[in-house]
Structure 1
Amino acid sequence: MSLKVAIIGRPNVGKSTLFNRLVGKKLALVDDQPGVTRDRRYGRARLGHIHFDIIDTAGLEDVFDDSVEGKMRQQSEIAFEECDLAFFLIDARAGLTPLDNHFADWLRKRKKPVYVIANKHEGRGQDAGLYEAYGLGLGDVAPISAEHGQGMELLIDIMLPHWEDYRDKQRKARREGDDAVIDDDFEDDEEIIDDDAFPSFEIEYDEDDDGEEEVVQKDNSKIQLAIVGRPNVGKSTLLNHLLGENRVMTGPQAGLTRDSIAVDWSYEGRPIRLVDTAGMRRKKKIDDRVEKLSVTDTLRVIRYAQVVVIMLDATNTLDKQDLTIARMVIDEGRALIIAVNKWDAVKDKPGVMQALRDKLDTSFAQAKGIPILTFSALTGRGTDTLMPTVLDIYDIWSRRIPTSQLNRWLAVVAERHLPPVISGRRIRLRYMTQAKSRPPSFFINSSKAAELPESYTRYLINALREDFDMPGVPIRIYVRSSDNPYGNKKKKR
Structure 2
Amino acid sequence: MSFRLAIVGRPNVGKSTLFNRLVGRRLALVDDRPGVTRDLREGEARLGPLRFTVIDTAGLEEATDESLPGRMRRLTERAVAEADACLFLIDARAGVTATDEVFADILRRRGGHVILGANKAEGQAGAAGLAEAWGLGLGEPIPLSAEHGEGMADLAAVLAPLVEGKAGEEAEEAPQTDVDVDEEGETAEGPRVPTRARPLQLAVVGRPNAGKSTLVNRILGEERLLTGPEAGITRDAISVKTDWDGLPVRIFDTAGMRKKARVTDKLEKLSVADALRAVRFAEVVVVLLDAATPFETQDLRIADLAEREGRAVVVAVNKWDMDPEKQAKLRALRESFETLLPQLRGAPLVAVSARTGKGLDRLREAVVQAHDVWNRRIPTARLNRWLAEMVAAHPPPAPGGHRIRLRYMTQAKTRPPGFVVMCSHPDKLPEAYRRYLVNGLRADFDMPGTPIRLWLRSQSEQNPYKGRKKAQPSRLRKHLG
TM-score tier (shorter) = over 0.9
Counterpart of 2:390 in structure 1 is: 413
CA contact (8 A) 1:375 1:382 kept: yes
When residues 185 and 407 of structure 1 are mapped into structure 2, their CA distance, relative to the original with a 3 A threshold, is closer
Verify: 1:263 aligned to 2:240, yes or no.
yes
Verify: 1:243 aligned to 2:227, yes or no.
no
How do 1:316-335 residues align onto structure 2 when only pairs under 5 Å count? 316-335=293-312
- SS of the aligned residue for 2:292 comes to helix
Moved more, 285-294 or 333-342: 285-294
Structure 2: which amino acid aligns with 1:461?
Answer: V
Counterparts of 1:165 and 1:127, CA distance in 2: 33
Give the drift of 1:364. Answer: 2.5
How do 1:52-451 residues align onto structure 2 when only pairs under 5 Å count? 52-170=52-170, 182-184=172-174, 203-204=187-188, 220=195, 221-451=198-428
Counterparts of 1:183 and 1:65, CA distance in 2: 40
Verify: 1:490 aligned to 2:470, yes or no.
yes
When residues 10 and 217 of structure 1 are mapped into structure 2, their CA distance, relative to the original with a 3 A threshold, is closer
- SS of the aligned residue for 2:232 comes to coil
When residues 217 and 265 of structure 1 are mapped into structure 2, their CA distance, relative to the original with a 3 A threshold, is closer
- SS of the aligned residue for 2:358 comes to coil
Counterpart of 1:10 in structure 2 is: 10
CA contact (8 A) 2:316 2:349 kept: yes
When residues 219 and 8 of structure 1 are mapped into structure 2, their CA distance, relative to the original with a 3 A threshold, is closer
- Listed one character per residue, the Cα deviations across residues 421-480 of structure 1 (whole Å, up to 9, x for unaligned) are 122121100110111111111000000110000000000011110000000111111111
Structure 1: which amino acid aligns with 2:247?
Answer: R
CA contact (8 A) 1:91 1:120 kept: yes
Structure 1: which amino acid aligns with 2:207?
Answer: R
**Identical counterparts, % of pairs:** 53
Counterpart of 1:211 in structure 2 is: none
CA contact (8 A) 1:430 1:444 kept: yes
When residues 64 and 274 of structure 1 are mapped into structure 2, their CA distance, relative to the original with a 3 A threshold, is same
Counterparts of 2:454 and 2:44, CA distance in 1: 39
When residues 185 and 129 of structure 1 are mapped into structure 2, their CA distance, relative to the original with a 3 A threshold, is farther
CA contact (8 A) 1:201 1:219 kept: no
CA contact (8 A) 1:22 1:46 kept: yes
Give the drift of 1:123. Answer: 0.8
Counterparts of 2:448 and 2:27, CA distance in 1: 34
Counterparts of 2:444 and 2:379, CA distance in 1: 14
When residues 429 and 350 of structure 1 are mapped into structure 2, their CA distance, relative to the original with a 3 A threshold, is same
- Listed one character per residue, the Cα deviations across residues 46-72 of structure 1 (whole Å, up to 9, x for unaligned) are 111100000110011111101000011
Counterpart of 1:176 in structure 2 is: none
Structure 1: which amino acid aligns with 2:272?
Answer: V
How do 1:6-45 residues align onto structure 2 when only pairs under 5 Å count? 6-45=6-45
When residues 222 and 394 of structure 1 are mapped into structure 2, their CA distance, relative to the original with a 3 A threshold, is same
When residues 216 and 321 of structure 1 are mapped into structure 2, their CA distance, relative to the original with a 3 A threshold, is closer
Structure 2: which amino acid aligns with 1:491?
Answer: A
Give the drift of 1:315. Answer: 0.8
Give the drift of 1:203. Answer: 4.1
TM-score by length of 2: 0.93
Counterparts of 1:164 and 1:439, CA distance in 2: 43
CA contact (8 A) 2:44 2:51 kept: yes
- Listed one character per residue, the Cα deviations across residues 225-278 of structure 1 (whole Å, up to 9, x for unaligned) are 000101111101101100110100111111111111100112343321001011
CA contact (8 A) 1:2 1:185 kept: no
Return structure 1 stretches of 4+ with deviation > 3 angstroms.
Answer: 182-186, 197-203, 215-220, 484-487
- SS of the aligned residue for 1:376 comes to coil
Moved more, 354-363 or 471-480: 354-363
Q: For the aligned residues, what is the CA RMSD? A: 1.9
When residues 302 and 218 of structure 1 are mapped into structure 2, their CA distance, relative to the original with a 3 A threshold, is closer
Structure 1: which amino acid aligns with 2:305?
Answer: M
CA contact (8 A) 2:404 2:424 kept: yes
- Listed one character per residue, the Cα deviations across residues 150-176 of structure 1 (whole Å, up to 9, x for unaligned) are 110011111111122123224xx5xxx
Give the drift of 1:363. Answer: 2.9
Verify: 1:457 aligned to 2:437, yes or no.
no
CA contact (8 A) 1:259 1:297 kept: yes
- SS of the aligned residue for 1:51 comes to strand
Counterparts of 1:166 and 1:137, CA distance in 2: 25
CA contact (8 A) 1:337 1:371 kept: yes
- Listed one character per residue, the Cα deviations across residues 363-420 of structure 1 (whole Å, up to 9, x for unaligned) are 3322211211112110112222111110111000110111111111101111011111
Counterparts of 1:35 and 1:99, CA distance in 2: 15
Give the drift of 1:357. Answer: 2.4
Counterparts of 1:72 and 1:203, CA distance in 2: 43
CA contact (8 A) 1:369 1:472 kept: yes
When residues 445 and 202 of structure 1 are mapped into structure 2, their CA distance, relative to the original with a 3 A threshold, is closer
Counterparts of 1:259 and 1:217, CA distance in 2: 29
Counterparts of 2:459 and 2:110, CA distance in 1: 73
CA contact (8 A) 1:366 1:475 kept: no
Counterparts of 2:175 and 2:459, CA distance in 1: 49
CA contact (8 A) 2:290 2:318 kept: yes
Structure 1: which amino acid aligns with 2:93?
Answer: R
- SS of the aligned residue for 1:298 comes to helix
CA contact (8 A) 1:58 1:72 kept: yes
